[in-house]
Amino acid sequence: MNSINADLHCHSVVSDGTLTPEDLAMRAHQNGVQLWSLTDHDVIGGQHRARAAAERLGMKYISGVEISVSWAGQTIHIVGIGFNPDHPTLIEGLRKTRDGRTARGKEIARQLAAVGIAGAYEGALSYAGNPELLSRTHFARFLVEKKVCRSTDEVFKHYLVEGKPGFTPHVWASLQESVDWIVGSGGVAIIAHPGRYRLSELQKHELYIAFKEAGGLGIEVITGSHTPRQYDEYAKIALQYGFYASRGADFHDPQESYIDLGKLPHLPSSLQPVWSLL
């Protein structure tokens, strides 16, 4: 079961990816993915398309989303899989979470204009496949286009992050809300890329406990957002806290993402995969 090629984390044009759900399905299938999930940020508008495309290819599909959460003054991402995408509470919760992205985008653009980068709001919007989901990724692509930085990776070192131009604190969903929406619609909640958060060891412990108490069950171990050393580190965390383990490339774009759909190491055999719950 651990050797199934499951990829349960990626993004389409419905959020901040550059491929359509149909093209992602094709790419996943070509890369040998056997169980696939599209997990757009705060939006499930691509779910029916992704499922239909996967099913046409004979690839097993599981519904997915990646919810933006504010916790301890930081942004945390919670992935949900296996929920009913027509559940009204989930749909309404995500709509609320998306609210404010437009105003935030205008503030990001104002800050960029103040350091001499004009037209960022319209520029970023031109990269957004879904105007309801204007993301920092779209601003990053605009800054690369304008040759302010050479890559989106470089953008996230000099812009759009805390302490740099184009960062604006934002209040997303709460941890409890995100888990309630996922679990309440029949799904499984998973902490996305735990290695990416700037939290102390104690705060991480508190996050895992709070997440468990909220009803969360899983943690990403093998993800495109982790280094190989972090694969081992979070495999241990999964065992220590009794979390089910997940795997997914966090693929956004063929040029921007280092790890392609399905091209990750298998989950270590010591771990219980999240797909054993499905």
Note the residues at the interface with ligand AMP (CB under 6 A).
16, 41, 68, 135-137, 152-153, 156, 252
Dist CA 254 CA 54 (whole Å): 19
Tell me the closest approach of the beta carbon of residue 242 to ligand AMP, in angstroms. Answer: 27
Contacts of 30 (CB under 8 A, 6+ apart): none
Please give the Cα distance from 27 to 121 (Å, whole number).
Answer: 31
Considering the complex, state which of residue 68 and residue 272 has its C-beta at the smaller distance from ligand AMP: 68
Task: Give me the amino acid identity at 196.
Answer: R
CB of 135 to Mn ion, least distance (A): 6
Using CB under 5 A as the binding criterion, the count of chain residues that bind Mn ion stands at 5
**Min. distance of Cβ 16 from ligand AMP in angstroms?**
5
- Residue 91 corresponds to which amino acid? I
φ, ψ at 30 (rounded to 5°):
-60, -30
Q: Which is nearer to ligand AMP, 5 or 68 (CB)?
A: 68
Contact letters (x/-) for Mn ion, 88-127, by CB under 5 A? ----------------------------------------
User: Smaller CB distance to ligand AMP: residue 9 or 247?
Assistant: 9
Minimum Å gap between C-beta 162 and Mn ion is 16
Work out whether 141 is an interface residue with Mn ion (CB under 5 A).
no
Helix (H, G, I), strand (E, B), or coil: what is residue 265? coil
Binding to Mn ion in span 184-243, by CB under 5 A: 192
Let me know how long the chain is: 278
Q: What are phi and psi of 71, to 5 degrees?
A: -145, 125
Q: Which is nearer to Mn ion, 42 or 250 (CB)?
A: 250
Among 6, 8, 14, 16, binds Mn ion (CB under 5 A): 16
Query: Which DSSP string do the residues of 74-91 spell out, in sequence order?
Result: EEEEEEEES--TT-HHHH
CB of 158 to ligand AMP, least distance (A): 11
* Residue 172 Cβ vs ligand AMP, minimum distance, rounded to whole Å: 8
Write down the residue that tokens 């651990």 correspond to. Answer: 2
Cβ atoms of 66 and 85 within 8 Å: the answer is no
Give 147-201 as a DSSP string: TSSSSHHHHHHHSSSTTSTT------B-HHHHHHHHHHTT-EEEE--GGG----H
Q: Which amino acid is at 162?
A: E
**Between residue 246 and residue 275, which ones bind Mn ion under the rule CB under 5 A?**
250
Looking at beta carbons only, is 59 or 173 nearer to ligand AMP?
173
Cβ nearer to ligand AMP, comparing 40 with 180: 40
**Interaction site with Mn ion (CB under 5 A):** 16, 66, 77, 192, 250
